[in-house]
Structure 1
Amino acid sequence: MDRRAFLHAAALAPLAPLALPARAAGSGAGVTPPPDWSRLRGRLAGTLVLPGDAGYAAARRLNNPAFDGVRPQAVAYCASAADVSASLAFARAHGVPVTSRSGGHSYAGWSTGTGLVIDVSRMNRVAYASGRATVGAGAKLIDVYDRLARHGVSIPAGSCPTVGIAGLALGGGIGVVSRKYGLTCDVLESVRLVTADGRVLTCDARHHAGLYWASRGGGGGNFGVAVSFTFRTHQASDLTVFFLHWPWARAGAVVKAWQAWAPSAPDELWSSLHLGREERDLDVAVVGVHTGGRAALERLLAPFVERAGRPSSRSVRTASYLDAMKIMGGCASMPVSECRRMRRETFAAKSHLAYRRLPAKGVRVLVDGVARGGRHSVLLDAMGGAIGRVAPSATAFPHRAALFSVQYYAKGTDRRWLRQLHGDMAGYFGDHAYVNYIDPDLSNWRSSYYGPNAERLAEVKATYDPNRLFRLPQGL
């Protein structure tokens, strides 16, 4: 069993239509003519793909097949910041809605739209020097791990191998070594962004500090198009990974024991609790990563297992850093080239951030909710450690005091189970949610994603995109 069995890469949600230009093509004074896409094509070093072009069907696809019906007017595969600037200028001049895309994993499908999609996936260079990694905004996580591993270093990032670094970092970046090394945004030292007016800005603690702050947890697509990041790295030593399984009858005991153990464990240990149903099969599992050796891990597992009960199966393995990331990403047996092309699947998803443990009744509600018929799962990912030692206002990511994140997944397009269980658990978890698990159902999304940081984020938005060129259905 591997992490891919837990993590479902994208989620289904009805795609809110993006606003079209107020002035449509036609005759008469003051009417904007249709865009002359050939002019933009001539300005790009990259590639512009239009409906009717041979590559259009692939160019418009996201990771989640649920959004395959969305048809952009054009997809610009940008090769440089200058390409991004030219694309934004064209969108402004013609009133074309614009959307940016890195890995195409937006849970709500908001890395596509009905206008111009600016795709940065070709800007994927990964370089390393003197403890710093410079990463193009279109780099996939598997390539970040692979290329940095050659230098014996890495950065804290997510587990899905095909996720783009830009979306992950801009929303915060919860990952499997975050308790030890922090969120992805915590090791971000600078970011290069193209703003709505076409400027290319390098943002750090001393230059455009407000935009730099907002880019560490304020969500992708709000303030500009990121083209590259500079991160502090850590040594990529061997990791110990583990998988434990119990019969479903132990589900409540495992939840109770895990939530009391995982968020307060030493920083070196991260774990995730999985409750899943696949038709008639119910599963309880805990997967994890330890930055030390097997003996140290076994000592940490002992008190948890004593409370949860003896697992029905147990697997512990020490692996290289890169191999451990492949295990967590569900492509352990594949070469890196195959990890880049993971199979697409249709999912729906919602989330919570848990600031307190579930009481006994809450545990029962959660377990009973998963046991209901269907094909779905809930993942509880431990937080705490280094994540919690950063002040909530130090970056735009506000959920520093959360004990764990909660992800609800359902296979297919039906959101009824998600909505019911999410609603049932809201009384225990509150309304906190993670912007990288963006949820189109939320009405109070500003406070759910950003908490007390929402007001400052709105000020940054007004400064750098006063005319709101970047418009998401849940955009600042």
Structure 2
Amino acid sequence: MDRRAFLHLTTLAPLAMAGGAARSAPPPDWARLRRQLKGTLVLPGDSGYDSARRLFNPVYDRIRPGGVAYCATPADVSACLSFARANGVAVTARSGGHSYAGWSTGTGLVIDVSRMNTVSYASGRATVGAGAKLIDVYDRLARHGVSIPAGSCPTVGIAGLTLGGGIGVVSRKYGLTCDTLESVRVVTADGRLLTADATHHSGLYWACRGGGGGNVGIAVSFTFRTHAAHDLTVFFLHWPWSKAGAAVRAWQSWGPSAPDELWSSLHLTRDARGLDVLVVGTYAGPKASLDRLLAQLVARVGTPSSRSVRTTSYRQAMMIMAGCASSSVEQCRRTPRESFAAKSHMAYSELPAGGVRSLVDGVARGGRHSVLLDALGGAVGRVKPAATAFPHRAALYSVQYYAEGTDRTWLRGLHGEMAPHFGEHAYVNYIDPDLTGWRGAYYGPNAARLAEVKSTYDPDRLFRLPQGI
């Protein structure tokens, strides 16, 4: 029972006691909703229901939605929202189903936009359906010799990535995904289909660039400014664990201050094979120039135990970063599901010596887990913090704590130890159900304006995430 239904019943209770039992509301007419949709409504008991309710993370397989609507058109989304308003049914939006907290599902109606996945290109602009997966965006735009800055996980949906900001593997050169967003079509809580850009519904447009998914409406398509998809050089440098401290100290001053063409990520990992230090990245320039930049890092860390530097097509570089180097696009779409838990920080200053030791020692503890530091700066840092809803423009790098399985003990421990060094800053696309001060952590000073946009486009709070504006 949701809060609205509870309040409704407690209001009627005295009347029922005084004058007989109050009549209960009729159950939602799911069959009627099914008839209204061009897409498909999957209900409990239908074949395909178990598949329809699954997210990328099997941890959330226990959640059983009242229905999953595979919307084929914006009108389908509008019909679903009308149904939810009329029946007091909770709604959840889903694009790729990668919400770290499992909040792209729920016990009410899941509005799935994955069938609205077309990708088209004309005159320097890409129009992308909200259900498109990153691997398909990269593949289809590569046919036109262009791309947009985005992430590495191949099955992440473009909607969630963009709405939360969009840290990616060429961000320092081309900006966040949301920085290239020129307009977005959104179905708002009242069922209207709006096109938001810099001059039309500008507050909604602002909120859709870093304000997180599921807060102010359901996006159905995006129009992005593209960049030419020139060849990239992809590199992987591994060091033994004895170099972990030196690698952190060197990388955190090298990666975020490198030329814009160079994006890199430092991975500290403990898995079944043991402990590993890796710096991985992309370079949008001549390989000789990259070699000089890598030499600067190696001079400070020491000779790597292995090194791979390869220049390839932009599309193939994205396949490599997706972990699909030897796979087809179709195979990459079928990336295996994983059980995991995660937390994050945004680093606004370099770690001092004590912080480096805490980070390295924390990863070395027993378990299977990683800490990933992704370089920011460059084009990301040249946008003012209030220009979009994404506030972390001054951050040097993002920090993701990632643990295999479901146990959050290691995550909570190391995250707590690092908070005095990193502060209470976090990335909304690594949404964290443990956070208490999440408004400030995700949105900083932009939280107040986000609340104003929310009150304008969803005054009755139809969209109610546990950490929703």
Q: TM-score range by the shorter chain?
A: over 0.9
Give the Cα–Cα distance (whole angstroms) in 2 for the partners of residues 252 and 456 of structure 1: 40
Using the TM superposition, give the Cα deviation of residue 19 of structure 1 relative to its aligned residue in structure 2, in angstroms: 5.4
Q: Distance in 1 between matches of 2:55 and 2:355?
A: 35
Alignment of 1:391-430 (within 5 A): 391-430=384-423
Moved over 2 A (4+): 17-24, 26-31
Instruction: Name the residue aligned to 1:9.
Output: none
Aligned AA for 1:118?
A: I
User: Could you tell me which amino acid in structure 1 is paired with residue 402 of structure 2?
Assistant: Y
In structure 2, the residue matched to 1:256 is: 249
Post-superposition offset of 1:127: 0.4
User: Could you tell me which of 177, 196, 201 is aligned with 1:203?
Assistant: 196
* Aligned twin of 1:308: 301
Identity %: 76
Counterpart CA distance in 2 for 1:399 and 1:164 is 22
257, 274, 278: which is aligned to 2:271? 278
**8 Å CA contact retained: 1:101, 1:112:** yes
Superposed CA RMSD: 1.3
Quote how far apart the aligned CAs of 1:20 are: 7.5
Kindly report which structure 2 residues correspond to 1:32-431, keeping only aligned pairs within 5 A, or say none.
Answer: 32-279=25-272, 281-431=274-424
CA distance in 2, matches of 1:28, 1:232: 60
**Which of these residues, 453, 462, 469, is aligned with residue 460 of structure 1?**
453
Count of residues in correspondence between the two structures: 459
Q: Which amino acid aligns with 1:347?
A: F
How far off its partner does 1:30 sit?
5.2
Change (3 A) 1:212 1:30: farther
The whole-number CA distance in structure 2 between the counterparts of 1:122 and 1:295 is 43
Structure 1 position 441 matched with structure 2 position 442:
no
Q: Name the SS for the 1:99 alignment partner.
A: strand
Task: State the shift of 1:28 in Å.
Answer: 5.0
Q: Secondary structure at the match of 1:409?
A: strand
- Quote the Cα distance in structure 2 between the aligned partners of 1:392 and 1:20: 36
Tell me how far 1:293 sits from its aligned partner: 2.5
Work out the CA distance in 1 between the residues paired with 2:148 and 2:141. 8
What's the offset of the Cα at 1:228? 0.2
Under a length normalisation based on structure 1, what TM-score does the superposition of the two structures give?
A: 0.95
The two structures have a TM-score, normalised by structure 2, of: 0.96
State the SS of the aligned residue for 2:336.
coil
Tell me the equivalent position of 1:473: 466
**Could you tell me which amino acid in structure 2 is paired with residue 416 of structure 1?**
T
* Amino acid in the other structure paired with 1:342: T
Deviation at 1:29, TM superposition (A): 3.8
Could you give the per-residue CA deviations for residues 16-71 of structure 1, whole angstroms, max 9, x where no partner exists? x97584368x9954532111100000000000000000010000000000000100
Residues 19 and 317 of structure 1: CA distance in aligned 2, closer, same or farther (over 3 Å) = farther
Partner of 2:12: none
Q: Distance in 1 between matches of 2:160 and 2:4?
A: 24
Quote the Cα distance in structure 1 between the aligned partners of 2:3 and 2:222. Answer: 30
SS in 2 for 1:385: coil
Where structure 2 has 5 or more consecutive residues not aligned to the other structure, the ranges are 10-15
Structure possessing the higher radius of gyration over alpha carbons: 2
Q: Counterparts of 1:96 and 1:361 in 2: how far apart (Å)?
A: 50
**Kindly tell me: are residues 186 and 30 of structure 1, through their superposed partners in 2, closer, same or farther at Cα, counting changes over 3 Å?**
farther
Tell me, which stretches of 5 or more residues in structure 1 are unaligned?
1-16
1:58-117 deviations in whole A, cap 9, x for unaligned?
Answer: 000000000001000000000000000000000000000000000000000000000000
Name the SS for the 2:63 alignment partner. Answer: coil
Secondary structure in 2 aligned to 1:446?
helix
Contact 1:193-1:228 at 8 Å conserved across structures: yes
d(CA) in 2 for partners of 1:404, 1:196: 35
Q: Is the 8 A contact 1:252 1:364 kept in 2?
A: yes
Q: Deviations over 1:380-424 (max 9, x none)?
A: 000000000000000000000000000001111100000000000
- Residues of 2 paired with 1:130 and 1:118: CA distance? 32
Hey, what's the Cα distance between the residues in 1 that align with 2:98 and 2:23?
A: 38
- 1:309-346 CA-to-partner distances (Å, cap 9, x unmatched) read 11010001111111100100111111101111100010
Contact in 2 for aligned 1:279/1:373 (Cα 8 Å): no
Q: What is the distance in 2 between the residues matched to 1:320 and 1:84?
A: 37
1:234/1:28 Cα in 2 relative to 1: closer, same or farther (>3 Å)? farther
Aligned to 1:8: none
- Which residue does 1:4 correspond to in 2? none
**1:18–1:114: 8 Å Cα contact kept in structure 2?**
no
The Cα offsets for residues 194-225 of structure 1, whole Å up to 9 and x where unpaired, read as 00000000000000000000000000000000
